[in-house]
Amino acid sequence: MKIFSESHKTVFVVDHCPYMAESCRQHVEFDMLVKNRTQGIIPLAPISKSLWTCSVESSMEYCRIMYDIFPFKKLVNFIVSDSGAHVLNSWTQEDQNLQELMAALAAVGPPNPRADPECCSILHGLVAAVETLCKITEYQHEARTLLMENAERVGNRGRIICITNAKSDSHVRMLEDCVQETIHEHNKLAANSDHLMQIQKCELVLIHTYPVGEDSLVSDRPKKELSPVLTSEVHSVRAGRHLATKLNILVQQHFDLASTTITNIPMKEEQHANTSANYDVELLHHKDAHVDFLKSGLNELSEQDFFFSFNCGTISLYSFKSVFSSISELHYCTGAYRISPVDVNSRPSSCLTNFLLNGRSVLLEQPRKSGSKVISHMLSSHGGEIFLHVLSSSRSILEDPPSISEGCGGRVTDYRITDFGEFMRENRLTPFLDPRYKIDGSLEVPLERAKDQLEKHTRYWPMIISQTTIFNMQAVVPLASVIVKESLTEEDVLNCQKTIYNLVDMERKNDPLPISTVGTRGKGPKRDEQYRIMWNELETLVRAHINNSEKHQRVLECLMACRSKPPEEEERKKRGRKREDKEDKSEKAVKDYEQEKSWQDSERLKGILERGKEELAEAEIIKDSPDSPEPPNKKPLVEMDETPQVEKSKGPVSLLSLWSNRINTANSRKHQEFAGRLNSVNNRAELYQHLKEENGMETTENGKASRQ
């Protein structure tokens, strides 16, 4: 069914009764712009607009914004109601412009305050509005012609905006009842006519306006459904600028508009031609121009760049910095939307509009929290119309996509690519031929069933290898593949229990687990910590599907029973941890001893080689001399095993002791040991032994002599 939304047809009904000629009591200084006032001349008194003038100006501003952004397919019909209904234009495209409406309103003129108020009523205009909504527009006629036999599939919806001065809440309810009865009657007439269409949905917006300073007799009321065809809402607004602000908010709500404020526009001051000041210009456009930022996330923007209007749900302000460009450049654009200035008569808006219509462009920068800026939008004119272009601030779809193995931004590289491919194969969409019915007898929608299956399969599905343990274990595959089902069979429950028992057996045997150590130092978590992580993750997976059926609950109960170990099991775990700690300490001690021993052996070998080189050099020098005697027989090199071992000290050895032992060992190999030191007892050598022998004395132990 091709539905035309309520925004396709908008009917304005403006009250033209005598009470609308009353002043709005919001004064405007008429003589404030006179610069050189002659002394003695009394200034002109301030003026105030009537309720009729405020209503016409506000409704014309509503139409101006709508025509600027939607020049086609959004139509307005204007009706003035007093003693009768005066329809000022039709649904044809030729009548859809401000010039036609302003000329028709000028012909109507202001309301006559001396007319009889009993003869005037807003009901005439509301009845004419319903009748106008039943008429077919050019676009609806074209759609019905294309569908031919199925012409009834074209929808007819519309909106009525009534600006009046109601007397009370009961008066408002009477107006709503009148519209509801009129729609019911005209739908009966349209059902038997080829030139009329039944109203399928109508929105009634009643705006009660009253002078500034008075109390409102009508209370506001949000949108309320009065019948399947009619919804109504009531706004009580003071006249003047308050009424204009209200209609500005309503046009944003009715046509899904958003606001963009262009800041820091340099302009020269009239009083000081050599100086310039920065101004802001607010523009209205379709809210789709902000969709890319909502998708990318608001955390990239600073807080002052975003805030939401309290009256409408759309984004009401973007802050940008303007960059003026006179060069026709090609930018990758993802969308273009017509704009309309909020304050069209202001000097900054006029200057910006003329600047753009002269062929220039304005690039808009978006500030980010990090301090950087990105060019996100561009203002440019085409064919005399100004468009807001949305520039792509991310990778273009025309470029080659990045390889998934490279990682997102170079940070993640261990995606479960193979598992994801298998996941896609398991969740492919296929033609749904035979209808299926649910347990309650209702027809099962294939798309909803596919969404439900996809939701079940992704309740717990880590995307990165290093973030999961169970999906890297082949032993968990039987459980992980069936736990996502909507219902389990007895065989499935038995397979899940076997999988859990196998994991318990693996833990008892202390088998290693595929724990990722990326980004960690050392050996990583201990074995019991690895199994604790594995059990926690397995419990998370099972709990995600616990509500599917009662048999899923049985699987969880089996898992929890296996996790709760008996006391002797915990004691065995503690002993295992202590044994691992002792093994680690012993391995460290052995490693330190081997390093020290290898260092001493290398030093000993180095000393022996140096000593051999010196002796060879001395032998060559002696042989080269002709008068030199034959060198004495050299002592053979001592084998490494025959060298005296340096006694290892018990306890820690200081660096000084190590260095002294090394020096003493090296020096002892460079000379022949003193004979007295070799024959000494307790490092004490007896002097003049031959004299004592001649005197008949013998040396005994400890250096004590005895006479023979």
pLDDT in tens, 16-69: 999 999 999 888 877 665 556 666 677 777 888 999 999 999 999 999 999 999
DSSP symbols for 299-327? GGS-GGGEEE-SS-SSEEEEEEEEEEE-S
Q: Helix, strand, or coil here: 518?
A: coil
Q: Which residues contact 97 (CB under 8 A, 6 or more apart)?
A: 67
Residues 107 and 54 in one domain: yes
User: Would you say 165 and 37 are in contact if contact means Cβ atoms under 8 Å apart?
Assistant: no
Residues 141 and 114 in one domain: yes
Residues 211 and 162 in one domain: yes
Residue ending a domain, among 538, 567, 596, is: 567
Burial class (CB in 10 A: 0-12, 13-18, 19+), 648: exposed
Residue 268 lies in a domain: yes
pLDDT for res 315: 40
Sorting pLDDT into bands at 50, 70 and 90, what band is 571? low
Burial class (CB in 10 A: 0-12, 13-18, 19+), 387: buried
Residues 240 and 288 in one domain: no
Residue ending a domain, among 230, 255, 280, is: 255
Q: Which residues contact 449 (CB under 8 A, 6 or more apart)?
A: 436
Residue 343 lies in a domain: yes
Q: Which of 257, 212, 259, 202 is nearest to 236 (CA)?
A: 212
Residue with tokens 């090394």: 662
What percentage of the chain carries pLDDT values higher than 90? 31
Residue ending a domain, among 255, 271, 297, is: 255
Sorting pLDDT into bands at 50, 70 and 90, what band is 516? low
Residue 434 lies in a domain: no
Phi-psi region of 649 (alpha: psi -120 to 50; beta: other; left: phi over 0): beta
Burial class (CB in 10 A: 0-12, 13-18, 19+), 474: exposed
Residue 677 lies in a domain: no
Helices and strands (H and E) in the chain: how many? 18, 20
**Which pair of structure tokens corresponds to residue 451?**
């969404």
> Which parts of 209-267 fold into alpha helices (H)?
241-254
> Which parts of 264-371 fold into alpha helices (H)?
291-296, 347-357
Residues 290 and 379 in one domain: yes
pLDDT at 130 over 70: yes
Residue 653 lies in a domain: no
For the question of whether the overall pTM of this predicted structure is more than 0.95, the answer is: no
Q: Which residues contact 149 (CB under 8 A, 6 or more apart)?
A: none
Residues 162 and 239 in one domain: yes
The mean-pLDDT minimum among 275-289, 436-450, 499-513, 571-585 falls in 571-585
Residues 137 and 201 in one domain: yes
How many domains is the chain partitioned into structurally? 3
Q: Could you say which DSSP state residue 196 is in? A: B
Residue 280 lies in a domain: yes
User: Would you say 276 and 250 are in contact if contact means Cβ atoms under 8 Å apart?
Assistant: no
Dihedral sign from CA coordinates of 295, 297, 302, 307: positive
Residues 247 and 276 in one domain: no
Residues 224 and 304 in one domain: no
Residues 331 and 216 in one domain: no
Residues 226 and 117 in one domain: yes
Residues 23 and 165 in one domain: yes
What is the CATH number for 92?
A: 3.40.50.410
Q: Which of 507, 413, 423, 410 is nearest to 471 (CA)?
A: 423
pLDDT, tens digit (0-9, with 9 covering 90-100), for 468-506: 888 888 888 889 888 988 888 999 999 999 999 999 998
Q: Which residues contact 491 (CB under 8 A, 6 or more apart)?
A: none
Residue 236 lies in a domain: yes
Residue 16 lies in a domain: yes
Q: What's the domain range around 273?
A: 259-391
